[in-house]
Chain A
């Protein structure tokens, strides 16, 4: 897995896509605009961002399928009743939009 603060290079995309053959699991800090991708589990990506200075409340998980360029907002780390998100999906539309923007800036 790797932490991205700038647009990924093609080699970095290839590396992150290896775990799931073209699908990249990501955790994004929607406030700092950084992303960790390529791990088997979101929790490991989350830990990397927390170690990098992120706040838990700003971290959201999902994925992007590199073959279809479709994004999903599904992760076990998203279950946060205290933030009005009782689901594994990101329910807040504005957070989803931020998620999309950062994926667009760092991956697509």
Chain B
């Protein structure tokens, strides 16, 4: 994959994080099916991202994001987790990845 492809991948992940976070914040129970669909898609994107050739400056971000994403997935499955806090975490990572995508030349 080229740098352009990898940048697009990061932006796709970012957009999905925004979508998932927004649905969780607005109507978690009502949007559960859609959230699950996009989580599956995002999981696949993240798996690709974890193996992609990225600029050195993006490596720590990728590591932190992968960890946060896995934690968020566990949080979504838990009945006791704070869904609003999780929603915000998804949206925050959506913002971070949107910014960091510009590190691809």
* Co-complex (A, B): yes
Residues of A within 8 A of B (CB): 20-23, 25, 41-42, 63, 65, 67-68, 70, 72, 74, 76, 88
Q: Could you say which of B60, B64, B91, B103 contacts A68, with CB atoms under 8 Å apart? A: B103
Residues of B within 8 A of A21 (CB): 60-61, 64
Within the assembled complex, what's the spacing in Å between the Cα atoms of A67 and B92?
A: 15
Within the assembled complex, what's the spacing in Å between the Cα atoms of A50 and B60?
A: 34
B95 adjacent to A23 (CB under 8 Å): yes
Find the B residue at minimum CB distance from A23: B96
The contact size tier of chain B is 10 to 19
Within the assembled complex, what's the spacing in Å between the Cα atoms of A70 and B103?
A: 11
Interface residue? B75 (CB, 8 A):
no
Within the assembled complex, what's the spacing in Å between the Cα atoms of A70 and B25?
A: 25
Residues of B within 8 A of A25 (CB): 92
Q: Give 9 A-B pairs besides A20-B64, A70-B99, A72-B99 with Cβ atoms closer than 8 angstroms.
A: A21-B60, A41-B88, A67-B100, A68-B100, A72-B95, A76-B25, A88-B22, A88-B25, A88-B91
